[in-house]
Structure 1
Amino acid sequence: MKVIRYLLFPFAILYNIVTAIRNFFYDTGVFTSTSFQLPVIVVGNLSTGGTGKTPQIEYLIRLLKDRYKIAVLSRGYKRKTKGFLLLNNTHNAEDVGDEPLQFFSKFKNIDVAVDANRTEGIQRLITDINPEVILLDDAFQHRKVKAGYYILLTKFDELYANDFLLPTGNLRESRRGRSRANTIIVTKCPQNLSEDQQERIKKKLKPTANQEVYFTSIGYNETLKGDREVLLSELENSEILLVTGIANPKPLLQFLGRNHLKFQHINFPDHHNFTSSDISKINTTYESITSVNKIILTTEKDYMRLKGKISNLVYIDIETKFLNKEESFTTNVLNFIQS
């Protein structure tokens, strides 16, 4: 696979030229970006995924939901519908995508909408519900909207500084795109990452003088939810069938390993739409487990697409945890909104 990617290097050069011209046209005003009067915060990345956008959006929701009327707008990746949809209790993951459904299911006092055209989506939100703050999920490259605050995520073990453009690497645009960010967050860090290591990473990322760099890790909830609630510690003598359809399941595998849990893993592509054949495979594998104590475990995002399709299913949810300087981050976000 790596050899093929290297052979595609000329296409990466062409891709770089195309994205650079596009960004230049936006930067110089040849292509227009729409600004809005209310605070709009973008969470995104330079790479193709797996940087932890969903837990970062949820962090912002928890920070802001009791202070402001919040709306989240996503494109609704892999949904089977078109246009603008404001989520309600009748929608499922096929209608709106797994991540928007997760936000809607988890936080009852916010509004969640999907629209591939973020400009039209924001305008509809303003007209229909008049939010005080809008969070844009995965919209760093959506330059038709000029947001007020940009949060750029990059994963600890796949920094944009060490990556290259598609199809040779995983970058959607050149590393120069980092200059649009107000804040850069290095995600999925080891919890014991030292300050010296953080400083070395900062030098690699080359932030501008006005950019703050923060470091976060993943925190796993010890209470599993879904068809029933069970403590993770109660699974020590159980056999787990782990089903994932996310970009990078490695941190979850490592977490289960550190907790000395016995599991089999069925891995699907990111945002996978589970077919009847997939469900049959999961059920057959689960039935083949001979242990009396057994359970099917998935991620919260995958649960949105699997619930109601298989039984004895639970999920583990995650949260963003700042290694340090959390107060600085929250102060910067609140100051932006208040200004």
Structure 2
Amino acid sequence: MGMEGDFIKINKWLLPLGWLYGCVVQVRNCLFEMGVLKSESFTTPVISVGNITVGGTGKTPHIEYLIRLLEKSAKVAVLSRGYKRKSKGFHVANEHSTAEDIGDEPYQMKQKFPNVTIAVEKKRAKGIKLLLQHDPQPDVILLDDAFQHRYVKPGINILLVDYHRLIIYDKMLPAGRMREPLSGKNRADIIIVTKCPKNLTPMDYRVVTKAMDLFPYQELYFSTLSYGKLMPLFPEAAQTQLAEKASDLTGLKAQNCLLLTGIASPRQMIEDLKPHVASLHPLTFPDHHSFTPQDIERINTEFNQLAEPKCIVTTEKDAARIKHIDGLSEAVRTHLFVLPLEIEFMLEQTDKFNKKIINYVRKNSRNSILVKRKDDNKPQDSHHSGDRPRTISFRNN
């Protein structure tokens, strides 16, 4: 396992500015600890998922994991700030919402989970209060990218750390990518090291676990990326024979693949795809990138230059923006596939994590009595009777 020298690039000339920035953030954190700045708690279960670095740590796949875990047994709401959306204020997504209205990640989640309430609001405490007035009232609220939004005190605070940029070796902005000092990790109830290679050795786990230096009240998990079935972004234009072969990654073994990403950290995805294709050609853009006509022309040109047989693969997050832009060549449209990202827990930690989340929601729901059945193979239906509280059963996952 490579460590500091392989993964972290620090601009040493900017370290003094990073120190000053860290001091400012420390003062803010101290004001919250002393109660000068107030953190608001809620009786409804609130689970926050976030990071303390600039760049992607896999927040959306982990939020989606929590949705899948909870949605069949409880009414789930997700609250995001809706990064780079063009709308203002509080907005609940509906079937007509676009990525421009609510942001690409909330749009992606609404497309995948149409029965889940997806809302955006920059001020999270305000957003939670408005969600609690929404019909249906949520049994649990998932906060997307809210680890540093300290005006809300979640019941469970989950911190995500990219394996390829471990915070223990990083530095404060602008020298590194840390948005607050390393001590900020102490607020986390759960820390998940994300995007881990699947071939980590027991020694690798021990080294990271020791280096993270966690308190006894904190739990450490490791997750890795897994991939769903490839789907054509433009089904009506897709090349039928290629679409049939490309239902999973094994169907790409003869393909020269252009990997199109506008995410913060595509490194693990690149490494995962390489063994499945004849050749891989990454075309990377910044996180949440808005594709310009020049970008579209570049995509068309680079794909046109690939030798046959060929395809182009992108992420669900990028697909939310690409789907509605003009200018893609017919060759790109017929060969463009979306690769869904999911996460899996390593070290057989899945049951432990699931029980932690389910038990918290069960014990702390304000509007429901959450009852665990002896037979947990299937969730019971919710029942409503006048003013009686709803009874919701959880599966053991």
TM-score normalised to the size of structure 2?
0.81
Cα distance between partner residues in 1 of 2:356 and 2:85: 34
Counting aligned pairs with the same residue, the percent is 43
Post-superposition shift, 1:91? 1.7
In structure 2, which of residues 268, 282, 299 is the aligned counterpart of residue 265 of structure 1? 282
Letter of the 2:318 counterpart: D
1:294 aligns with 2:310: yes
Q: CA RMSD in A?
A: 1.7
Secondary structure, aligned partner of 1:157: helix
Q: How do 1:93-242 residues align onto structure 2 when only pairs under 5 Å count?
A: 93-129=99-135, 130-228=137-235, 229=243, 230-231=246-247, 232-242=249-259
Q: How do 1:22-33 residues align onto structure 2 when only pairs under 5 Å count?
A: 22-33=28-39
Residues 210-262 of structure 1 deviation map (CA, whole Å, 9 limit, x = unaligned):
11111111112243342245323333333322211011111121122111332
Q: Which residue is 1:16 aligned to?
A: 22
Alpha carbons 1:225, 1:316 under 8 Å: kept: no
Residues 174-232 of structure 1 deviation map (CA, whole Å, 9 limit, x = unaligned):
11111111111111112232333212211111111111111111112243342245323
1:277 aligns with 2:294: yes
Q: Which residue is 1:322 aligned to?
A: 345
Cα distance between partner residues in 2 of 1:4 and 1:164: 7
Letter of the 2:276 counterpart: N
Letter of the 2:258 counterpart: L
Post-superposition shift, 1:142? 0.2
Q: Which residue is 1:303 aligned to?
A: 319
Secondary structure, aligned partner of 2:164: coil
In structure 2, which of residues 262, 266, 288 is the aligned counterpart of residue 249 of structure 1? 266
Secondary structure, aligned partner of 1:219: strand
Q: Which stretch of structure 1 is more off in the superposition, 22-31 or 91-100?
A: 91-100
1:53 aligns with 2:33: no
Structure 1, unmatched stretches of 5+, are none
1:333 aligns with 2:357: yes
Post-superposition shift, 1:19? 0.4
Letter of the 2:351 counterpart: E
Cα distance between partner residues in 2 of 1:238 and 1:199: 38
TM-score normalised to the size of structure 1?
0.94
Residues 7-33 of structure 1 deviation map (CA, whole Å, 9 limit, x = unaligned):
111111111111001001011100011
Residues 19-66 of structure 1 deviation map (CA, whole Å, 9 limit, x = unaligned):
001001011100011111100000011111221111111110110011
CA 328–92 in structure 1, closer or farther in 2 if over 3 Å, else same: same
Cα distance between partner residues in 2 of 1:15 and 1:98: 29
Cα distance between partner residues in 2 of 1:54 and 1:272: 16
Alpha carbons 2:252, 2:277 under 8 Å: kept: no
1:41 aligns with 2:57: no
Greater C-alpha Rg: 2
Secondary structure, aligned partner of 2:82: coil
Q: Which stretch of structure 1 is more off in the superposition, 305-314 or 207-216?
A: 305-314
Number of residue equivalences: 337
Secondary structure, aligned partner of 1:321: strand
Alpha carbons 2:197, 2:268 under 8 Å: kept: no
Alpha carbons 2:32, 2:38 under 8 Å: kept: yes
Q: Which residue is 2:82 aligned to?
A: 76
Alpha carbons 1:48, 1:170 under 8 Å: kept: yes
Post-superposition shift, 1:4? 8.4
Cα distance between partner residues in 1 of 2:253 and 2:362: 48
Cα distance between partner residues in 2 of 1:201 and 1:111: 36
Q: Which stretch of structure 1 is more off in the superposition, 218-227 or 329-338?
A: 218-227
Post-superposition shift, 1:338? 1.6
Alpha carbons 1:45, 1:51 under 8 Å: kept: yes
Structure 2, unmatched stretches of 5+, are 1-7, 236-242, 364-397
Alpha carbons 2:12, 2:175 under 8 Å: kept: yes
Cα distance between partner residues in 1 of 2:25 and 2:302: 44
